[in-house]
Amino acid sequence: MFSHEESKKIRQEFWTSFGKEFSLKWLLYNTKIKEIQLKFCFTRKFAMVSLDIIDQDEFIRSYYFEKLESLKTVLNESYLPNIQYEKEYELPEGKMISRIFVEKEGVNIHRQKDWPEVKEFLAENMLKMEEFLEDFEDFLKN
């Protein structure tokens, strides 16, 4: 087991090395749709790339989620074949969002031997998620 400080240092090392290796200008919070954010996540159990609908108004979240659901076949066939949809996704702090995501299980941020595989997974899937979002930005906005 790692202490809180050791774990924090390992996480910082991973994200710093990821940023140096994949020094792209990721969209993340700058999606041009204020209710939508793209996220990277890597924990002791999994790695994930997600598109989060963060608005606290359930009606607005549903509106965007239904639009994304209508694109599910295109997203699966042309961008991310293993995409998962969760209309009600509860964050650890209790906040409800909607999320579509791809996930790699069985990896651990504390195991440096997992890092190369996870870096590739994160970069490859975020590029596809960004491409999808850019291709369908007008549809999602209107």
What is the Cα–Cα distance from 30 to 55, expressed in whole angstroms?
15
Instruction: Say if residue 17's pLDDT is above 90.
Output: yes
Tell me the chain's radius of gyration from C-alpha atoms.
16
Instruction: Say if residue 1's pLDDT is above 80.
Output: no
**pLDDT tier at 80, thresholds 50, 70, 90:** very high
Q: Which residues pair with 84 in a beta bridge?
A: 101
**What CATH number is associated with residue 63?**
3.30.1460
Expressed as residue numbers, the domain containing 75 is: 4-141
The one-letter code for the residue type at 121 is F
Q: Which residues pair with 48 in a beta bridge?
A: 41, 103
pLDDT at 23: 86
Average pLDDT (76-80) is 96
Average pLDDT (100-125) is 98
> What pairing do the DSSP bridges indicate for beta strands 46-53 and 96-105?
antiparallel
Number of domains in the chain: 1
Rounded to two decimals, the pTM is 0.92
pLDDT at 30: 86
Q: Is 72 helix (H, G, I), strand (E, B) or coil?
A: helix
pLDDT at 21: 95
**pLDDT tier at 24, thresholds 50, 70, 90:** confident
Residue 111 CB neighbours (<10 A): 11
